């Protein structure tokens, strides 16, 4: 257990420096290439923090292990939304520019609805393999919308770039690597500590695995807020949640060449994710910001839902 605690502390160091380098590299790349910070957040940073999860799910799907895909994504998206946005808003008002993020908010809130509709409509309540077509089309459509915002005008883009693009790309990639390693080590150490203390695997799996895969996304947005890179922070979580459903689940369906099983628990999870995502999108669009009270509410909602889920497993 002592070794697991040491690994846990070391993993937090990796997460901190990984998030710092990821945000610094992404911001410098945006300035060098005169890219919109919105585009960098919703595509470059979001894909960077979601790529490890994508690869893990695709490898698992290839070997026929698809049972955890749906529950893992619902748990990750809920953690990204409630903890990521919750902490960012709690330690400082989170500004969501509706003129820049209105389309992302629509995809963000409606993507879980696609899962719900398939589970309810399809006989047998599963996600059929042919639905990968819908996921891929929606994902490509989203990427095309992001491409149109590639070089939107932003004041900071007029800053004269004096760095090295290759160096900044290297820093960005090292940041992704550190976030991936940090997230994996957190997951490994917490599972070890939980097993030592006798915590059931079902509880560890639902609460820790999903949160562990979300740590890179959450940490990247928290560090971005601290560096006043608000567009990157907001775009990262919005983009990550969209990628998780459209790209990860769509890719899982293609690679596995089979259906994804669902049950009552998964239906409830996606219903909850859809409700919270929709409420967040409405508040963010109407108010233009998420204040400390809303941030605290998101955190309370997450841990309350976790408590209910864990209690129901006992």
Q: How distant is the alpha carbon of residue 130 from its chain centre?
A: 25
Name the residue with tokens 């209690």.
311
Running DSSP on this structure, what letter comes out for residue 259? P
Q: Closest Cα partner for 246 from 129, 39, 58, 107?
A: 107
What angle separates helix 165-196 from helix 210-226, to the nearest 10 degrees?
Answer: 140
Query: pLDDT value at position 159?
Result: 56
Considering only residues 69 and 110, tell me which one the structure prediction assigns the higher pLDDT.
110
> What is the pLDDT at residue 12?
77
Using an 8 Å Cβ cutoff, are 94 and 88 in contact? Answer: yes
* pLDDT score of 157: 46
Average pLDDT, the chain: 82
Neighbouring residues of 253: CB distance < 8 A, sequence distance ≥ 6: 127, 129, 131, 132, 135, 259, 260
Query: How is residue 13 written in tokens?
Result: 């160091």
Query: What is the mean pLDDT of the segment spanning 290-295?
Result: 90
pLDDT value at residue 204: 59
Give the rounded percent of residues in the chain with a pLDDT score beyond 70. Answer: 86
Q: Are 178 and 286 in contact (CB under 8 A)?
A: no
Mean pLDDT over residues 250-268, rounded?
Answer: 84
Which structural domains are found in the chain, ordered by start? Answer: 2-313 (1.20.1420.30)
Q: What is the pairing mode between strands 260-261 and 289-290?
A: unpaired
Angle at 236 between CA 232 and CA 238, to 5 degrees: 120
Which pLDDT belongs to residue 206?
Answer: 57
Token output for 22: 């990821």
**How does pLDDT run across 165-217, given as a tens digit for each residue?**
888 889 888 988 887 787 778 767 877 777 777 765 555 555 666 677 777 88
57-61: average pLDDT: 71
> What is the β-pairing status of strands 126-127 and 94-95?
unpaired
Tell me what pLDDT residue 58 has: 76
> Which is it for the CA torsion 241, 192, 19, 62, positive or negative?
negative
| Residue whose tokens read 């605290």 | 296
pLDDT over threshold 60, residue 261: yes
For 93-147, what is each residue's pLDDT tens digit? 788 888 888 899 999 999 999 999 998 888 888 888 899 999 999 999 998 887 7
DSSP assignment of 83-95: IIIHHHHHTS-EE
User: Whole-structure pTM over 0.85, yes or no?
Assistant: no
pLDDT at 301: 94
CA distance readout (Å), 307 to 63, 117, 262, 314: 33, 27, 22, 11
The answer, yes or no, to whether residue 155 has pLDDT greater than 70, is: no
Burial readout 116-145 (b: 16 or more C-beta within 10 A, e: otherwise): bebbeeeeeebbeeebbeebbebbeebeee
* pLDDT mean over 12-38: 81
Asked if 94 and 225 count as a contact pair (C-beta separation under 8 A), the reply is yes
User: For residues 243 and 277, what is the distance between their CA atoms, to the nearest angstrom?
Assistant: 15
């Amino acid at each position: 257990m002592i070794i697991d605690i040491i690994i846990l502390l070391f993993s937090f160091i990796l997460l901190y420096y990984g998030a710092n380098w990821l945000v610094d590299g992404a911001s410098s790349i945006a300035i060098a290439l005169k890219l919109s910070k919105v585009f960098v957040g919703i595509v470059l940073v979001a894909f960077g923090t979601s790529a490890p999860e994508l690869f893990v799910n695709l490898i698992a799907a290839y070997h026929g292990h698809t049972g955890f895909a749906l529950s893992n994504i619902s748990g990750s998206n809920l953690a990204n939304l409630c903890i990521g946005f919750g902490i960012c808003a709690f330690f400082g008002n989170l500004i969501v520019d509706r003129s820049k993020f209105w389309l992302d908010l629509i995809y963000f809130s409606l993507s879980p609805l696609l899962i719900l509709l398939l589970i309810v409509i399809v006989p047998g309540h599963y996600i059929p393999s042919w639905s990968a077509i819908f996921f891929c089309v929606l994902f490509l459509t989203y990427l095309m919308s992001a491409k149109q915002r590639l070089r939107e005008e932003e004041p900071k883009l007029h800053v004269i770039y004096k760095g090295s693009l290759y160096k900044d790309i290297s820093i960005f990639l090292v940041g992704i690597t550190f976030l991936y390693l940090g997230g994996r080590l957190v997951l490994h150490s917490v599972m070890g500590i939980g097993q030592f203390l006798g915590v059931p695997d079902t509880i560890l799996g639902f609460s820790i695995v999903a949160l562990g895969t979300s740590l890179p996304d959450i940490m990247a947005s928290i560090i971005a807020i601290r560096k006043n890179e608000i567009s990157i922070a907001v775009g990262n979580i919005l983009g990550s949640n969209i990628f998780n459903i459209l790209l990860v689940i769509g890719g899982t369906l293609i690679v596995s060449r089979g259906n994804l099983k669902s049950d009552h628990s998964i239906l409830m999870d996606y219903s909850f994710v859809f409700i919270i995502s929709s409420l967040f999108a409405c508040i963010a669009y109407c108010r233009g910001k998420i204040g400390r009270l809303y941030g605290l509410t998101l955190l309370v909602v997450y841990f309350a839902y976790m408590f209910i889920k864990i209690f129901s497993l006992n």
